[in-house]
Structure 1
Amino acid sequence: MIAVISDIHANLEALEAVLAEIRRERIGTIVCLGDIVGYNADPSECIRRLRNAEALCIAGNHDRAVTGQITTEGFNPLAARAVDWTRDRLTPDELNWLAALPLKTVIDDRLVAVHGALHPDMGCELVRLNTDEKRLLSFQALAAHPSGVRICAFGHTHRIGVYEMRDGAVTAHEDRTVRLRDDSFYLVNPGTVGQPRTSDRRPSYLVLDPDAGTIGLRHVRYDASKALTKTRKAGLAPRFSRLPEPIRTPLRRVYKAIVG
């Protein structure tokens, strides 16, 4: 089996909870779709956990911004500040490790892993597959991929998604377990480990079971207060993170509308 995780964003507590569940399920291969760092306050520790777990990692846009491979143009102010903060706190070895991560790779002849999209060749880590038109372009790239694999795992949107293309028609699945067809192509997004942007604040990941021919969705519970306290102490949390939830939620929507 293969566990697919994404968008950890330096949230150590969430990552540890997810890795513990993956160990409990005795899953041998872990694939991380990038954005290991950014936003939260434990970048070194998250890198260390992934390296110790021998996870197969892809570079995300935050990872590449921290290493200076791309600029923070287009990042919201909070994200750009976290990039600068993170860069100053990583060791040269950690920066080199991030910089060496590929943008795309094929895993066990089962799936191709990317952060943002399978298209285009350049800047793919910045593309969000958040529209039917963009997903169709990546489906076309998947169908033409020289590896012949039929599954592309992507992250970046922080939203769970399993999309199937069969005979030119695309279906979005909402079931927790999706049975794979031999004549279909799939775009799958595990959601986010450490930076939720939906009403469900739990970390999530996907499990590809080739023997059963299924993709399954998992959610994990953890105490987010410790991570938030560290992030707030580092000056990386929005001011409204201190407020009670009935006030914080509408303010979060306003903040997101302003900074993206």
Structure 2
Amino acid sequence: MKIALFSDIHANLPAFEAVLEDLKKKKPDAVYCLGDLIGYNVWPNQVIGHIRKRRIATIAGNHDLKVSKILPSEGVCSTDQSSEYAYKLVGNKEREYLLTLPRHLKLEFMLNDDKLNMLLVHGSPRSINEYLLEELPEQYMLDLVTEFSANILCFGHSHKPYHRIISSGKDGNDHYHHLINTGSVGKPKDGDSRACYVMLTINQSATVTSPDAIQVEFLRLNYDVEKAAQAIERSLLPDAFADNLRKAY
């Protein structure tokens, strides 16, 4: 089974359209979005429209929930740049959609008499705002996946993709856990400005006792970065957001 995972679109429509086009070619069996559809750019409603039209299962990101505190714009007339402008662009029906998204999704596979639990979150199972960085101590990560019974933990939020395998157990009875950061579709921070998403493959032979139970492929796609950057510069958003896109930091 092939599962596509992506997150942190951040209203970057050109980047998201590149991902959607690639998904049309790759034809995964399932597609999940791990949140942060909005913020930082000018196309929040168009991005949400694509998600809903394709019925992509989606969880809330921390930026999505900001619309509960920032009211829609009634025609912005100020010339002052503000990051809040990105949330004021969100329409009423799109706002309602974001505020009813689930926080977590849990999938359970039964393979080879093994139960394989896959947990999808935005930041971490403990907090939507927590950054699960690759360099975190192994014991911290192990405590996390044990607490939430996750054999495969998928998340975004940091915009820095990685796949890390850790093991629990001893005396030859190791159980392996996969930690997968999906990177970012619309605002990468790893020095690579291309859009990023993940293709995860689970085979019938998958088992928790094998580190090769799943295959994880990070797909990087070119898109019109300049179009997205210039849209920011023509808006009331801070120009620094455009520089972030061009340099991927």
> Which amino acid in structure 2 is aligned with residue 161 of structure 1?
Y
Identify which of 177, 184, 187 aligns with 1:192: 184
Deviations 1:65-123 (A, max 9, x none): 12239xxxxxxxxxx933x32332222211111001122111364521111112x2xxx
Q: Hey, which of these two has a bigger chunk of helix by percent? A: 1
Letter of the 1:142 counterpart: V
- CA shift in 2, pair 1:144/1:198, >3 Å: closer
Runs of 4 or more above 6 Å deviation? none
Residue 139 of structure 1, CA deviation:
3.3
Question: Is contact 1:67–1:87 with CA below 8 Å preserved after alignment?
Answer: no
Contact 2:39/2:87, CA 8 A, preserved across alignment: no
- Counterpart CA distance in 2 for 1:161 and 1:23 is 24
One-letter code of the match for 1:232? Answer: E
The equivalent residue for 2:91 is 91
TM-score for the superposition, normalised by structure 2? 0.78
Query: Following superposition of structure 1 onto structure 2, how do residues 89-238 of structure 1 map, counting pairs within 5 Å?
Result: 89-107=89-107, 109=109, 111-118=118-125, 120=126, 124-130=127-133, 132-133=135-136, 136-145=139-148, 148-167=149-168, 183-211=175-203, 213-238=214-239
**Aligned residue type for 1:117:** S
| Structure of larger gyration radius | 2
CA shift for structure 1 position 234: 1.1
| Aligned-pair CA distance for 1:46 | 0.4
* SS in structure 2 at match of 1:61: coil
- SS of residue paired to 1:81: coil
RMSD value over aligned CA atoms?
2.8
Structure 2 portions without partners, runs of 5+? 71-80, 110-116, 205-213
Partner residue in 1 for 2:38: 37
The residue matched to 1:126 in structure 2 has which SS?
Answer: coil
**C-alpha distance 16-240 of structure 1, shift in aligned 2 (>3 A):** closer
Q: Structure 1: how far apart are the matches of 2:229 and 2:242? A: 8
Corresponding residue for residue 26 of structure 1? 27
Q: Distance in 2 between matches of 1:2 and 1:158?
A: 19
Checking the alignment, whether the CA contact within 8 Å between 2:8 and 2:183 is kept in structure 1 is: yes
SS of the counterpart of 1:219?
A: strand
Q: Distance in 2 between matches of 1:231 and 1:5?
A: 22
Ranges in structure 1 where 5+ consecutive residues have no aligned partner: 70-79, 170-181, 254-260
Paired residue type of 1:106? K
- Give the 3 Å change call, closer, same or farther, for CA 201–136 of structure 1 in structure 2: farther
Query: What CA distance in whole angstroms lies between the structure 1 residues aligned with 2:215 and 2:191?
Result: 26
TM-score, structure 1 as length reference: 0.75
Residues in 2 aligned to 1:139 and 1:4: alpha-carbon distance in whole angstroms? 22
Give the conservation status (yes or no) of the 8 Å contact 1:159–1:191.
yes
Distance 1:89 1:240 in 2: 16
Counterparts in 2 of 1:107 and 1:20: CA distance versus 1, 3 Å = farther
User: Aligned partners of 1:195, 1:116: CA distance in 2, in Å?
Assistant: 16
Tell me if structure 2 keeps the 8 A contact 1:3–1:31.
Answer: yes
SS of the residue aligned with 2:197? strand
Aligned pair count reads 218
Mapped to 2, the partners of 1:160 and 1:233 lie a distance apart of 30
Identity %: 29
Question: CA 1:223 to 1:87, structure 2 compared with 1: closer, same or farther past 3 Å?
Answer: closer
